[in-house]
Amino acid sequence: IQNSRLEFLARKIYHYPSIGSTNDEAKKLAQNGAPHGTLVIAEEQTGGKGRLGRRWVSPPRKGIWLSIILRPSLEPYQAPRITMTCAVAAAKAIRKVTGIDCRIKWPNDLLVKGKKVAGILTEMSADMDSINFVVTGIGINVNNTNFPKEIIETATSLKLASGKNVDRLKILTEFLSQFEVVYRCLEDGEFGKVLEEWRQLSCNLGKRVRIIGRNYELEGLALDVDGNGALLVKTNEGTVERVLSGDVSLRE
């Protein structure tokens, strides 16, 4: 990492052999003033987290389990842009290093041949009109060869997809340099470029989707994603609904 040309990312690195959750650790560090760009990374997570208290399986040395502390100049409602930035950077890094056709599934997954290879969890500390910090965490399955039975049908790794071992350090360094480039667009008022890349890498747009929220379900055609991360869905009744990423899951 030291050798790569990074300007703000990973100037400070916290590396753990084993930890509960890199996101939780990053939030603590951020609360204690850790600077923009701080990287928290672990070989293993014993309490890796997904959204809504779900579990993220993070076995030792098989994947990349990391969190980045950011202090972006965004309004709180724009925070989903960070998840989009992270997804674009990771998809590009995976494609570049392995040649695998990795796609973004709205809002926070990366898929290879329809199976989940990575997930993103973005958490924020903010008041009404300003962000204190954002922690964006990503788990990438790199050399996993088996998964617990509840996800055996839905999960994959770069190794399973490519048939060979993949160098975790190469994926990590490429991800960090892509993240810097994409993040700079975001800060420079060029989020349109990120959005365009996101669209190109998406596997949902133009397809039928089913959105499952806490107390509603919605079916329709995924038309587009907007600059704040909402999915625009044309329902069977012909209306266009703007779905925020919050608490929903999405099926084909």
What distance, in Å, lies between the first and last C-alpha atoms of the chain?
A: 38
Site membership for ligand BT5, residue 119 (CB under 6 A):
yes
Q: Which of 51, 92, 103, 159 binds ligand BT5 (CB under 6 A)?
A: 51
Token pair belonging to 131? 């962000």
Site membership for ligand BT5, residue 21 (CB under 6 A):
yes
Residue span binding ligand BT5 (CB under 6 A) among the ranges 16-24, 123-131, 163-171, 208-216: 16-24
C-beta of 51 vs 103, nearer to ligand BT5? 51
Which position's Cβ is nearest ligand BT5? 119
Q: Would you call 50 helix, strand, or coil by DSSP? A: coil
Site membership for ligand BT5, residue 27 (CB under 6 A):
no
Residue span binding ligand BT5 (CB under 6 A) among the ranges 53-61, 123-131, 177-185, 222-230: 53-61
Nearest to 132 by CA among 53, 49, 32, 51: 32
C-beta of 26 vs 186, nearer to ligand BT5? 26
Site membership for ligand BT5, residue 50 (CB under 6 A):
yes
Question: Least separation, in Å, of the C-beta of 128 and ligand BT5?
Answer: 26
Q: Which residues contact 215 (CB under 8 A, 6 or more apart)?
A: none
Map residues 128-167 to x or -, x wherever contact with ligand BT5 holds by CB under 6 A. Answer: ---------xxx-x---------x---x------------
Query: What gap in Å lies between CA 64 and CA 75, rounded to an integer?
Result: 29
Site membership for ligand BT5, residue 54 (CB under 6 A):
yes
Strand partners, 211: 218, 250
Q: Are 221 and 206 in contact (CB under 8 A)?
A: yes
Q: Are 51 and 21 in contact (CB under 8 A)?
A: no
Q: Are 250 and 105 in contact (CB under 8 A)?
A: yes
Query: What gap in Å lies between CA 54 and CA 32, rounded to an integer?
Result: 26
Q: Which of 121, 134, 222, 231 binds ligand BT5 (CB under 6 A)?
A: 121
Query: What gap in Å lies between CA 163 and CA 168, rounded to an integer?
Result: 15
Question: Least separation, in Å, of the C-beta of 111 and ligand BT5?
Answer: 10
Question: Least separation, in Å, of the C-beta of 57 and ligand BT5?
Answer: 4
Q: Which of 38, 45, 177, 245 binds ligand BT5 (CB under 6 A)?
A: 45
Neighbours of 57 (CB within 10 A): 17
Site membership for ligand BT5, residue 175 (CB under 6 A):
no
Query: What gap in Å lies between CA 87 and CA 95, rounded to an integer?
Result: 12
Interface residue list for ligand BT5 (CB under 6 A) = 21-23, 45, 48-51, 54-58, 65-67, 108-109, 116, 119-121, 137-139, 141, 151, 155
